[in-house]
Amino acid sequence: MTAKSYPFISIDEALYPQSLKTIDTPPKGLFIAGSIECLSKPCLAIVGTRKPTSFAQKLAESWAKALSDAGITIVSGLALGIDGAAHRGALLGVGKTIAILGCGLNHDYPKQHVALRREIIENGGCVISEYSPETPPRAQNFPRRNRIISGLSYGVLVIEAAMRSGSLVTARLAAEQGKEVMAIPGSLHNPMAAGCHWLIRDGATLVTNVEEVAATLRQQVISLPTPSTERATTRSCCLTKQESAILEHIHEYTTPIDEIVMNSRLAFHEVCSILVGLEISDHVTKVVGGYVKK
């Protein structure tokens, strides 16, 4: 990356995020590439392993999109795996996403996410760092940047994490900051689910669908859209071709998911991902036995 300068916001300035001022050892300032305004929006951090299962990666992307469509800004660390999936999912929604680096902004790290970083900025999000632009990525920087990920956010959602991982550091920091910690349970045979199970035993909120995440956040953020507002906002936007196709196969009475899969001719995991978005945008309701169109 060509060396360049970036706007810097000091902790004493009005644009500095209020949520960061209350944490222990807040950064003295932030270098920012992209939109400064998105730092003041309601945020949720989504974090997890760099080596997720394909299911967890798709889940992170679909949940991030649904939450983005509900007006929530997705925060993560631009790492490979779950972080990248969360950023990509948010970009598919109507909201923004914020990436927080453990190095200076003049470093393309990780190199695999150069295009993703550019897309975040071009779509109204931002990439930030407390480190000067020329600071290289160092191991000790990343645990420190995790306090910013949790500090900016009203809550942290962990999707697959090993017992010794940066995601658990972020979750611990969130708990210390008085933020909501949520975790998704996984297979007992998946070592990348062990960290989530430990968090749940330690008091984290167990979540099994994106509606539970949104409901938990609404307890923290009164200004989040109500379902009726979400519905009006989303209906004013065009559905994707796949969303429209799925919606055609759901009725005003209960439609079993197997019937939706069969009639849509899409893979089961694709249908589940699309249904999550349709639920959060208030187009359909999940009921016993299937889904109902609204």
Q: 191 and 77 share a domain?
A: yes
Domain assignment present for 1:
no
Residue 227 is predicted with a pLDDT of: 40
Q: Supply the pLDDT for residue 201.
A: 95
Task: Give residue-wise pLDDT tens across range 36-63.
Answer: 999 988 999 999 999 999 989 999 999 9
Shared domain check, 156 and 234 = no
Same domain, residue pair 161 and 201: yes
Residue 233 lies in domain: 227-293
- Listed as own residue / partner, the contacts of 117-120 with beta carbons closer than 8 Å and 24 or more positions apart are 117/78, 119/91, 120/34, 120/87, 120/91
Report the CATH number at residue 71. 3.40.50.450
Residue 211 located in a structural domain: yes
Same domain, 55 and 84: yes
What is the rounded distance in angstroms from the CA atom of residue 69 to the CA atom of residue 235? 11
Tens digit of each residue's pLDDT (9 = 90 or more) over 85-113: 999 999 999 889 999 999 999 999 999 99
Average pLDDT estimate for 243-270: 86
Residues 190, 153: one domain?
yes
**What's the confidence (pLDDT) of residue 2?**
60
pLDDT recorded at residue 31: 98
Task: Give the residue-averaged pLDDT of 187-202.
Answer: 92
Of 192, 249, 223, nearest to 60 by C-alpha is 192
pLDDT (tens digit, 9 = 90+) per residue, 226-246?
443 343 333 434 567 788 889
Q: What is the pLDDT of residue 139?
A: 92
According to the model, what pLDDT value does residue 176 have?
A: 95
Look at residue 3 and tell me if it is in a domain.
no
Where does residue 227 rank: exposed (0-12), middle (13-18), buried (19+ CB within 10 A)? middle
- Give percent of the chain with pLDDT exceeding 90: 63
Q: Taking the model in full, what pTM does it have?
A: 0.76
Q: 237 and 200 share a domain? A: no
* HEC string for 119-163: HHHHCCCEEEECCCCCCCCCCCHHHHHHHHHHHHCCEEEEECCCC
| 139: amino acid identity, one letter | A
pLDDT average, residue stretch 147-174: 96
139 and 272 belong to one structural domain: no
In degrees, rounded to 5, the angle at the alpha carbon of residue 72 between the alpha carbons of residues 158 and 75 is 45
Same-domain pairing of 66 and 212: yes
Q: What is the pLDDT of residue 92?
A: 93
- Same-domain pairing of 207 and 288: no
The structural domain count of the chain equals: 2
Q: Quick check: is 76 in a domain?
A: yes
Please answer whether residues 260 and 292 qualify as being in contact, where contact means their C-beta atoms are separated by less than 8 angstroms. no
**CATH code of the domain covering residue 261:** 1.10.10.10
Q: Are residues 169 and 288 in the same domain?
A: no
pLDDT, mean over the chain:
88
Q: What percent of the chain has pLDDT over 70?
A: 91
Mark which of 161, 188, 220 sits at the end of a domain: 220
113 and 240 in one domain?
A: no
